[in-house]
Amino acid sequence: MQRKTTRPRLVQAMMDIWTLPDLRRKILFTIGMLVVFRFVTHVPLPGVDIEALRALFEQTPLIGMLDLFSGGAMTNFSVAVLGVYPYITASIVMQLLAPVIPSLQALSQEGELGQQKINRITHLITIPLAALQGFAMIALLRSQGVTIEPLGSLAMVSIVITMVAGTMFLVWLGELITERGVGNGISIIIFGGIVASIPEIVARGVIAAVAGQPGGLIAYIILTLALVVLIVIFVEAHRRIPVQYARSTFRGGRMYRQSGSTYIPLRVNTAGMIPLIFAIALLQLPGTIATYFMSSETPNFWNTIYNLFQSDTALYNGLYFALVIGFTLFYTTVVFEQMNLPQTLQQQSGFIPGVRPGKATADYLNGIIRHITFGGAFFLAAVAILPFIAQEITGVDLVIRSTALLIAVGVALDTMKQLEAQLTMRRYEGFLK
pLDDT digits (tens, 9 = 90+) for 176-201: 998 888 888 888 888 887 787 777 76
User: Is it the case that residue 33 has pLDDT exceeding 80?
Assistant: yes
248-262, 327-341, 380-394: least confidently modelled range: 248-262
Is the Cβ–Cβ distance between 146 and 53 less than 8 Å?
yes
CATH architecture of structural domain 210-400: Orthogonal Bundle (1.10)
Which amino acid is it at 300? Answer: N
- Which of 226, 227, 220 shows the shortest CA–CA distance to 395? 220
- What pLDDT does 150 receive? 58
User: Is it the case that residue 134 has pLDDT exceeding 60?
Assistant: yes
Q: Which residue has the higher pLDDT, 121 or 17?
A: 121
Q: Which residue has the higher pLDDT, 283 or 390?
A: 283
Mean pLDDT, residues 229-250 taken together = 76
Mean pLDDT, residues 369-389 taken together = 83
- What pLDDT does 165 receive? 92
- Segment of 63-67, 161-165, 206-210 carrying the highest mean pLDDT: 161-165
Model-level pTM?
Answer: 0.75
- Segment of 26-30, 186-190, 360-364 carrying the highest mean pLDDT: 26-30
pLDDT digits (tens, 9 = 90+) for 35-67: 999 888 888 877 776 777 767 666 665 565 566
User: Is it the case that residue 361 has pLDDT exceeding 90?
Assistant: no
- What pLDDT does 396 receive? 57
User: Is it the case that residue 32 has pLDDT exceeding 60?
Assistant: yes
When the pLDDT of each residue in the chain is averaged and rounded to a whole number, the result is: 76
In this chain, the answer to whether the domains covering 1-196+401-433 and 210-400 adopt an identical fold is: yes
Task: Break the chain into its structural domains and give their ranges.
Answer: 1-196+401-433, 210-400
Q: How many CB atoms lie within 10 A of CB 25?
A: 12
Report the CATH superfamily, name and number, of domain 1-196+401-433.
Answer: SecY subunit domain (1.10.3370.10)
**Whether residue 61 has a cis bond before it, omega within 30° of 0:** no
The secondary structure of 258-318 as a DSSP string is EEEEEEEEEETTTTTTHHHHHHHHHHHHHHHHHHTT--SSS--HHHHHHHHTSTTSHHHHH
- Which of 424, 13, 409 shows the shortest CA–CA distance to 234? 409
- What pLDDT does 2 receive? 45
User: Is it the case that residue 17 has pLDDT exceeding 50?
Assistant: yes
Q: From CA 405, how far away is CA 217, in angstroms rounded? A: 18
Which amino acid is it at 279? Answer: A
- What pLDDT does 410 receive? 78
- What pLDDT does 215 receive? 66
Mean pLDDT, residues 17-41 taken together = 86
Is the Cβ–Cβ distance between 71 and 192 less than 8 Å?
yes
User: Is it the case that residue 6 has pLDDT exceeding 90?
Assistant: no
Q: Which residue has the higher pLDDT, 40 or 11?
A: 40
- What pLDDT does 58 receive? 64
- What pLDDT does 1 receive? 43
Q: From CA 419, how far away is CA 182, in angstroms rounded? A: 8
234-238, 251-255, 355-359, 375-379: least confidently modelled range: 251-255
- What pLDDT does 168 receive? 92
- What pLDDT does 433 receive? 55
Number of Cα atoms under 13 Å in the Cβ half of residue 125: 18
% residues pLDDT > 90 (the chain): 4
168-177, 260-269, 389-398: least confidently modelled range: 389-398
- Segment of 261-265, 271-275, 315-319 carrying the highest mean pLDDT: 315-319
- What pLDDT does 367 receive? 84
SS (H, E, C) 275-291: HHHHHHHHHHHHHHHHH
Q: From CA 42, how far away is CA 166, in angstroms rounded? A: 12
Supply the DSSP symbol for 401.
Answer: -
Rounded to the nearest 10 degrees, the angle between the axes of helix 112-143 and helix 153-180 is 140
pLDDT digits (tens, 9 = 90+) for 72-119: 677 777 888 888 888 888 887 887 787 778 887 787 777 778 888 888
Mean pLDDT, residues 341-353 taken together = 77
- What pLDDT does 66 receive? 63
